[in-house]
């Protein structure tokens, strides 16, 4: 029966029932081993915890446990050394490792799967793997925040135009602008931490879907695997059907990753705008830019552009995972195998992006411990840009309000003054005193301090405002939080 383009069922785990071999095409279509092999460490970790519990419960012998431990140790070494042979016909990471274990240690290897199914096994593996990735991502999020805070600390007095509708609105400091991203990223970090609680729960013991007839000690396995809450209590999935079938933990992680990428995408868009010659607010180090094959003068911000582009890819993964789930009846369905590639790619994309941004903004650490080659800021250009567009018009209105005008009247008066400045081809702050007094008699010499960029900045001294004193306080808070 076995044809040359099909593989022998004997090498598979469920062979006895089947009368014909699986075609090569179906085998390739259903196999996941070439992408899920990256779960190998979690798979072995889960198997060791399971086996140790089986022995403690008297379900397998001490000798079986010792054999399983020895075999899994050998397999760990082989995989680490690149000597493990992954076989497509063994479908996935779980069956590959189990088959090799049996080859190495005999019957003990066949006993490992007692009271377990690949359904609760894979759910456990993905959770263990994702938990560690979340920890790594939270560290990377901290590093990027640190880089932003470091640059911000140098620019509490660097004035730039703040925009709404991409029109000059009010002066802000460059530090204040950067700290807006620190806030976003700190929420991303917080969100990842909250999701980690729900990821870190144990499906194992649910078996295929209904639980198992063996007297398993699920709490023990959870504790061994570090699936415990802050009080050290084991965290178990409490319904076997739910445990093997839902991937909401992967979906909410991807949603959080998407939000984080959206934040980075907004920052990217700004870096791109700021780097264009018409703004010239910043320069990125050459190693983050590329040239053009035809235009010799070009230096393109490829890294932020790609980050903006890769955000679309992560958004796509989120849509893919949600769609994957929506039509599935309980419990496990093979559809769920499709959770891995989007999830893996989301993790890879986010980690690479966070790493590269931390270095692009903050620079590289030199041998003397200082940072070099980060974001290069052109403070003079930023300040010049803030002087276009009458950025302190609101300050003049506020000045008139303090002289007793109702705000709406002050607003209207300033609009006339802005019109005059525009026709004089100058900024509002450059109009002579007698001209300003023509708009309202209460205007005095002290108005020029109010109309100045730094005067405007200093005046916004409420919590969360752009005044250097407020921004300094925020920087200190962040530094302490990120220490």
Active-site residues, by number, are 165, 292
Tell me the angle at which helices 340-362 and 302-326 cross, rounded to the nearest 10 degrees. Answer: 160
Residue 377, strand partner residues? 282
- Dig out the tokens for 368 from the structure: 């003397």
Residue 245 sits in the site that holds ligand ARG (CB under 6 A)? no
Please, what is the minimum distance in Å from the beta carbon of residue 112 to ligand ARG?
Answer: 16
Residue 119 sits in the site that holds ligand ARG (CB under 6 A)? yes
Which is closer to ligand ARG, CB of 124 or CB of 223? 124
Run of H or E including 373: none
Residue 392 sits in the site that holds ligand ARG (CB under 6 A)? no
One DSSP character per residue, 36-52 reads: HGGGHHHHHHHHHHHHH
For CA atoms 430, 431, 434, 436, give the dihedral sign: negative
Residue 346 sits in the site that holds ligand ARG (CB under 6 A)? no
Please, what is the minimum distance in Å from the beta carbon of residue 72 to ligand ARG?
Answer: 19
The SS3 assignment for 209 reads coil
Q: Where are the alpha helices (DSSP H) in 200-301?
A: 218-224, 240-245, 248-275
What gap in Å lies between CA 383 and CA 378, rounded to an integer? Answer: 9
Q: Which stretch binds ligand ARG (CB under 6 A): 101-109, 115-123, 401-409, 428-436?
A: 115-123
What number of chain residues touch ligand ARG (CB under 6 A)? 10
| CB within 8 Å of 456: residues ≥ 6 apart | 170, 171, 391, 392, 395, 450
Q: Which stretch binds ligand ARG (CB under 6 A): 41-49, 117-125, 253-261, 392-400?
A: 117-125
Phi, psi of 225 (to 5 degrees): -85, 5
Residue 118 sits in the site that holds ligand ARG (CB under 6 A)? yes
Which is closer to ligand ARG, CB of 131 or CB of 142? 131
Which is closer to ligand ARG, CB of 237 or CB of 375? 237
Residue 254 sits in the site that holds ligand ARG (CB under 6 A)? no
Residue 168, strand partner residues? 163
Residue 246 sits in the site that holds ligand ARG (CB under 6 A)? no
Run of H or E including 67: helix 62-80
Residues in 286-345 that interact with ligand ARG by CB under 6 A: 332, 334, 336-337
Question: x/- contact string, 23-52, with ligand ARG (CB under 6 A)?
Answer: ---------x---x----------------
What gap in Å lies between CA 232 and CA 179, rounded to an integer? Answer: 36
Please, what is the minimum distance in Å from the beta carbon of residue 333 to ligand ARG?
Answer: 9
Residue 122 sits in the site that holds ligand ARG (CB under 6 A)? yes
76-98 burial, b if ≥16 CB within 10 A, otherwise e?
beebeeeebebebbbbbbbbbbb
Q: Which stretch binds ligand ARG (CB under 6 A): 114-122, 145-153, 313-321, 381-389?
A: 114-122
Residue 92 sits in the site that holds ligand ARG (CB under 6 A)? yes
Residues that bind ligand ARG (CB under 6 A): 32, 36, 92, 118-119, 122, 332, 334, 336-337
């Amino acid at each position: 029966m076995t044809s040359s383009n099909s593989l022998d069922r004997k090498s598979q785990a469920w062979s006895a029932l089947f009368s014909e071999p699986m075609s090569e095409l179906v085998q390739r279509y259903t196999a996941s081993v070439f992408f899920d092999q990256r779960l190998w460490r979690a798979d072995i970790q889960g198997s060791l915890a399971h086996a140790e519990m089986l022995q403690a419960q008297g379900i397998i012998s001490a000798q079986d446990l010792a054999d399983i431990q020895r075999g899994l140790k050998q397999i760990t070494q082989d995989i680490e050394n690149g000597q493990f042979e992954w076989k497509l016909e063994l479908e996935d990471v779980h069956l590959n490792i189990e088959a090799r274990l049996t080859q190495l240690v005999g019957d003990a290897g066949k006993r490992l799967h007692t009271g377990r199914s690949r359904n609760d096994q894979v759910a456990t593996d993905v959770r263990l793997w994702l938990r560690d990735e979340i920890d790594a991502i939270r560290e990377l999020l901290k590093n990027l925040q640190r880089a932003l805070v470091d640059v911000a600390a140098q620019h509490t007095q660097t004035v730039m135009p703040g925009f709404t509708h991409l029109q000059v609105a009010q002066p802000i400091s460059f530090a204040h602008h950067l700290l807006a991203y620190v806030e976003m990223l700190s929420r991303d970090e917080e969100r990842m931490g909250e999701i980690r609680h729900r990821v870190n729960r144990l499906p194992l013991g649910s078996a295929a879907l209904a639980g198992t007839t063996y007297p398993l000690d699920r709490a023990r396995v959870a504790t061994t695997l570090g699936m415990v809450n802050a009080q050290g209590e084991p965290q178990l999935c409490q319904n076997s059907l739910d445990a093997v079938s839902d991937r909401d933990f992967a979906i909410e992680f991807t949603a959080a990753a998407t939000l984080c990428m959206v934040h980075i995408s907004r920052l990217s868009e700004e870096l791109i705008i700021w780097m264009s010659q018409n703004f010239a607010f910043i320069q990125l180090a050459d190693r983050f830019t590329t040239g053009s094959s035809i235009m010799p003068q070009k230096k393109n911000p490829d890294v932020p552009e790609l980050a903006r582009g890769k955000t679309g890819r992560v958004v796509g993964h989120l849509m893919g995972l949600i769609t994957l789930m929506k039509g599935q009846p309980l419990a496990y369905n093979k559809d769920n195998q499709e959770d891995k590639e989007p999830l893996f790619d989301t993790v890879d994309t986010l980690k690479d992006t966070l790493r590269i941004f931390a270095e692009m903004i903050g620079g590289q650490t030199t041998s003397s411990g200082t940072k070099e080659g980060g974001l290069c800021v052109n403070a003079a250009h930023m300040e010049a840009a803030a002087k276009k567009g009458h950025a302190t018009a609101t300050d003049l209105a506020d000045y008139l309000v303090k002289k007793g005008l109702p705000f709406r009247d002050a607003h209207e008066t300033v609009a006339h003054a802005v019109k005059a400045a525009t026709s004089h081809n100058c900024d509002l702050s450059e109009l002579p005193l007698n001209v300003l007094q023509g708009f309202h008699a209460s205007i005095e010499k002290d108005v020029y301090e109010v109309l100045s960029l730094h005067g405007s900045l200093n005046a916004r001294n409420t919590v969360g405002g752009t005044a250097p004193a407020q921004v300094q306080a925020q920087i200190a808070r962040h530094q302490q939080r990120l220490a």
